[in-house]
Amino acid sequence: MSQWPILRRWPVLLAGALTTLLVLAACTSGDGGSSPPQSARDGGDIVVHAGEPQSLDPHFSAAEIDLTIEQMIYRGLYDLLPDGTLRPAYADGLPQISDDGLVYTIRVKSGMQWGNGEVLDARDFVFGIQRTCNPDVAGFFQYILTNIGGCDDYYFATEASADEKADLLNLVTVSAADNLTLELRLANPQPTFSTLLALWPTYPAPDETLASVDAAWPSGADTPCNGPFCVTELVSGDHLTLGRNPNWALGPAASLDTITLRFIDDFSVALRAYQSGELDLVRVGEQDLPLVRDRSDFHSQQLPSTIGLVYNLADDLLANDSLRLALSRAIDRILYAEVVFNDGVIPTTNWIPAAEPGANIPGIFDGVIGFDLAAAKAALEEAGYPDGDGFPGVTLLAVDNATTRTEAEFLQNAFRENLGIDIAIDLVDGRTFGGRLFEGDFQLALSGWVHDYPDAENWLNGLFNTGAPINFQGCSNAEIDAAIDAAQFEQDQAIRFALLQEAERLAVTTLCGYAPLYHEGNFYLINPDLLGVQPTLADHFLPQFPEMWGLAAD
């Protein structure tokens, strides 16, 4: 399915993406640093659109905006490039992995410092990983490190005494053989583990600043930093200002003097502020796309996210395979993207976006679960409701905002017109939605997944295996379980990807909880004078690598 206007320019985009990669590669020669474009002048201040962070503790936080800011003020062992490859950041080369795949040895660059001048060495990385595993820090992304020996036991010991926690901490198999050598021992060989070493749960923690592994992460201007920028000011509800890190040594110093992130909840307000010249970079909401998509300063980037119609399989009605198929096949995803999103999303029947390593070919499931009116009606008849007769009704749970409301109404209308059945819509706020989804208190819902790291595994493991922690839709399929389990520790990449593709095929074609609808996109307006901003697949709220940004020379 390539009806998205941006996809009509697919060759151009592909060429652009390759150029971006080449530019990145060119910028990353040597020790892995990167530098602003040569045409940028040294210095300058910019103001960009952002939201207010909940926490800048990389071992705890999960919110999109938190991770965005953390990418600006912290760096880990590796940078994860848009194509999924690793570029050493504080690591001095790629990890050395033992023959059995269990022990990872990573050399850390020497002479590195935190923003406040504190020495940054292997012990800080040990401390950081220990924090993520710490039960009192209670990090959202601890499950990413579940394969590090002892991490789970320590993390789940919330009720343990201080002494017991100290004992469990010693059993977490991360250590510093010396100041510059980090050693990690896994419980099982994990092919994707190197990728995890580029993510925020493995970022370092300043062991001299923090009194203990569970100490509160300093905030405001005291927030530790080892990235190109440091927090210089945080005004609650208003803005956060970043200034250059004087001790940044992973590449040339950043070009910009300051980046001010203005907290703006409403994308339309941010757009008006950009138009009046108060912002240099702004995220654009889908509702504003028709106003800006033809401008030369408009930039778009597909996101690693899929939104779908979620079926609660614990519900007797939706346990019916034919009914799920009828609902999926009654949705014209192309029309959906056009009407609801002004073509700002990519209609899909794939669960895993094509850019993810290990994904299936785009459109491969169109013929099975995609829009087909005759097939939808036949499936509904097979489900026992010919032309919708006798259908008891079902309720769609969705977040109450303008876009999702339109989505829900589109689906309601599609099911009424195409199948002759009525669905009710239950709109609730985001937190209520999350709570009800988590408790299984829904029949149908609109929800999806954004990857934590680029690999098909992250789209399946934990979401579709029986009893998995995030499998709130109640998917239970022995073949899916077997494929995911086999892939988890498979060392041969080709075999692993084949297993994951099979797992996705089974999950999608059996509609095991999700009928994929679309992949989301990020849309920006970027001041033409602001150079070096490269939207990537790994972005959160804003593009990464602000050390490459600079203002055009006059």
469 in contact with another protein (CB under 8 A): yes
405 in contact with another protein (CB under 8 A): no
489 in contact with another protein (CB under 8 A): no
Picking from 470, 440, 520, 439, the residue whose alpha carbon sits closest to that of residue 140 is 470
Q: Which is nearer to another protein, 121 or 452 (CB)?
A: 452
Q: Which is nearer to another protein, 260 or 534 (CB)?
A: 260
Smallest separation (angstroms) from another protein to the CB of 476: 17
Task: Choose, by CB under 8 A, the member of 13, 97, 253, 450 that binds another protein.
Answer: 450
Q: Which is nearer to another protein, 311 or 472 (CB)?
A: 472
Residues 209-228, one symbol each (x = binds another protein by CB under 8 A, - = not), give -------x--x---------
The sign of the CA dihedral 229, 231, 232, 236 is positive
Task: Choose, by CB under 8 A, the member of 249, 317, 378, 437 that binds another protein.
Answer: 437
Q: Which stretch binds another protein (CB under 8 A): 90-98, 242-250, 436-444, 538-546?
A: 436-444
Q: Which is nearer to another protein, 71 or 501 (CB)?
A: 71
Task: Choose, by CB under 8 A, the member of 433, 442, 497, 545 that binds another protein.
Answer: 433
Q: How far apart are CA 7 and CA 1, in angstroms?
A: 9
15 in contact with another protein (CB under 8 A): no
Cβ neighbours of residue 391 closer than 8 Å, sequence gap 6 or more: 385, 420, 421, 422
398 in contact with another protein (CB under 8 A): no
Q: Which is nearer to another protein, 39 or 401 (CB)?
A: 401
Cβ neighbours of residue 141 closer than 8 Å, sequence gap 6 or more: 62, 132, 199, 200, 201, 452
What backbone phi and psi angles, to 5 degrees, belong to 435? -65, -45
Q: How far apart are CA 475 and CA 342, in angstroms?
A: 32
Smallest separation (angstroms) from another protein to the CB of 243: 19
With contact defined as beta carbons under 8 Å apart, do 511 and 477 qualify? Answer: no
Q: Looking at 136-294, which runs of residues are DSSP E strands? A: 174-178, 181-185, 229-235, 239-244, 258-263, 281-283
Six-digit token string for 369: 């679960």
| Alpha carbon separation from 398 to 23, 352, 402, 414, 422 (Å, rounded) | 41, 22, 11, 16, 16
| CB atoms inside a 10 Å sphere around CB 375 | 18
Smallest separation (angstroms) from another protein to the CB of 434: 4
Amino acid occupying residue 308: G
Angle at 82 between CA 79 and CA 84, to 5 degrees: 75
Q: Which is nearer to another protein, 55 or 322 (CB)?
A: 55
The helix or strand, by DSSP H or E, that contains position 24, with its residue range, turns out to be helix 10-27
Task: Choose, by CB under 8 A, the member of 430, 440, 493, 553 that binds another protein.
Answer: 430
Smallest separation (angstroms) from another protein to the CB of 326: 26
Q: Which stretch binds another protein (CB under 8 A): 160-168, 268-276, 328-336, 510-518?
A: 268-276
267 in contact with another protein (CB under 8 A): no
Picking from 36, 56, 402, 308, the residue whose alpha carbon sits closest to that of residue 200 is 56
Q: Which is nearer to another protein, 79 or 539 (CB)?
A: 539
> What are the beta bridge partners of residue 78?
88
Smallest separation (angstroms) from another protein to the CB of 549: 21
Six-digit token string for 346: 């990519």
190 in contact with another protein (CB under 8 A): no
Task: Choose, by CB under 8 A, the member of 215, 409, 436, 482 that binds another protein.
Answer: 436
292 in contact with another protein (CB under 8 A): no
> What are the beta bridge partners of residue 192?
none
Strand, helix or coil for residue 464: coil
Q: Which is nearer to another protein, 40 or 530 (CB)?
A: 530
- Looking at residues 100 to 139 of the shown chain, list those that interact with another protein (rule: CB under 8 A): 135-139
Q: Which is nearer to another protein, 278 or 422 (CB)?
A: 278
The sign of the CA dihedral 32, 37, 38, 42 is negative
The helix or strand, by DSSP H or E, that contains position 518, with its residue range, turns out to be strand 514-526
Task: Choose, by CB under 8 A, the member of 187, 263, 322, 403 that binds another protein.
Answer: 263
278 in contact with another protein (CB under 8 A): yes
Q: Which is nearer to another protein, 255 or 522 (CB)?
A: 522
Q: Which is nearer to another protein, 33 or 128 (CB)?
A: 128
Angle at 102 between CA 100 and CA 104, to 5 degrees: 115
Picking from 359, 354, 501, 286, the residue whose alpha carbon sits closest to that of residue 13 is 354
Smallest separation (angstroms) from another protein to the CB of 432: 4
The helix or strand, by DSSP H or E, that contains position 321, with its residue range, turns out to be helix 321-329
Strand, helix or coil for residue 161: coil
Smallest separation (angstroms) from another protein to the CB of 490: 23
142 in contact with another protein (CB under 8 A): yes
Number of residues that bind another protein (CB under 8 A): 60
Residues of this chain that bind another protein (CB under 8 A): 52-56, 62-63, 135-140, 142-143, 155-156, 158-159, 216, 219, 234-238, 262-266, 269, 272-273, 275-279, 399, 428-439, 441, 447, 449-450, 462, 469-470, 472
